[in-house]
Chain A
């Protein structure tokens, strides 16, 4: 059966969160966001603004869903602070490529790791296509759950904007 993207499309950040932490994805999908209070997100925004100054950028909003920076005819570009979350960042970009592909637009991806001054090129393969489809189905299912996935401590919890939220508890 053909995968119906219309039924499963989400904002790119949800794909990202899916690969970081399912609990974070659930909280975010219920409007429980922390980003405003997080300095790291602010830093990310600043880097984003500054590092694009020299490049000709064209921000495209697709279906009110994806905000994509298309820099030239071939590439969709993402800027990241560091390489820590590689998998999640990569899959978010692949999701963009997948989305564009479904609209008949063929692009390749380029991730800029600002701190490491490193770039990575990504192409949408059939394998990636299947992986994204599976992720989108999962994301929908998780978002519809009535309760958040149980808290399990992950290595990056202490750097997560939800850390205080998740670990605010009393000793009993």
Chain B
């Protein structure tokens, strides 16, 4: 089983023989066993060289970089080993045919809304009106004929959803409105942080399949991002990230001490990031008995299964039905 490694301190990442070492600024050495690495997340200021990158590529290991505030800056995505021209051509066909593209985009949004409502129903006192509003809005998803209208619906749903955070979160934490760049309050800071973790997790699962991360359906394929990662993340953000935020706040695991504010930018400090990540990793490892596979499946594996279902859809095997968590 491979896992993600997180490096918070400054230092140097290097390869010596068949091992990867992290040496921090105090010359402490930590060994990372190469066969067990899925992805390395670098939060500190890290030196590395091409010899290391080449080595990581051989093993298909991704590197994700975050800036000083812990906000995502980019991923080194090694050359893919699982390549299927047949799959990519068909994936592209589903983008080019607007009807087909719309079907997939709607599936992503509908699944996201399913998970949003699930979160809200679990904390329903005082937000019944918002739940109703979202349910009404959800009905329009089916009828919509254009991606931008679909995006509009999604935007309105998210607005109601984030409004409900003020009732769901049982403490002084609150959110005025979703602010992405830059987050200005702790809740926004956690959403941004969690969403970028989710994006990199989805990318690393896409990497293990034949899907092309650049061909997306809800988000416009972009030159800056592997936008299929953004698409699939929509499904899992409410299911994973938001439930972590609720539990960290409501169980008073995370407090105002875990955040810093710098020139108006609010961000999780090192202590806060560690708390968030440990909860995130725990959640991804949690298993649910799958109804069709008749096997226990982790949240991380559910992401991979979503990729498999998309491939099957593209190759004309089986129509894509997005995950709608039943538990």
Contacts and interface: CB of A to CB of B under 8 A. Distances in A.
A163 interface: yes
A22 to B, nearest CB: 13
B287 to A, nearest CB: 13
A33 B221 CA distance: 25
A171 B291 contact: yes
B25 to A, nearest CB: 36
Interface in A65-107: none
Contacts of A147: 315-317
B243 interface: no
A102 B85 CA distance: 32
B292 to A, nearest CB: 5
Contacts of B60: 36
Interface in B15-69: 60
Contacts of A169: 292, 309, 318, 321
A156 interface: no
Contacts of B326: 171
Interface string B303-323: 011001101100111100111
B86 to A, nearest CB: 4
Tell me what chain B mostly uses at the interface: helix, strand, loop, or mixed. Answer: loop
Interface string B86-115: 110000000000000000000000000000
B293 interface: yes
Give the one of A33, A147, A148, A170 with max B CB within 10 A.
A170
Interface in A123-172: 146-148, 151, 163-165, 167-172
A55 B84 CA distance: 37
A41 to B, nearest CB: 14
B316 A168 contact: no
B57 to A, nearest CB: 14
A168 B308 contact: yes
A32 interface: yes
A30 interface: yes
16 contacts: A30-B315, A31-B83, A31-B87, A31-B210, A32-B87, A32-B311, A36-B208, A146-B316, A147-B317, A163-B293, A168-B292, A169-B321, A170-B322, A170-B324, A171-B291, A171-B292
Interface of B: 60, 81-87, 208, 210, 291-293, 301, 304-305, 308-309, 311-312, 315-318, 321-324, 326
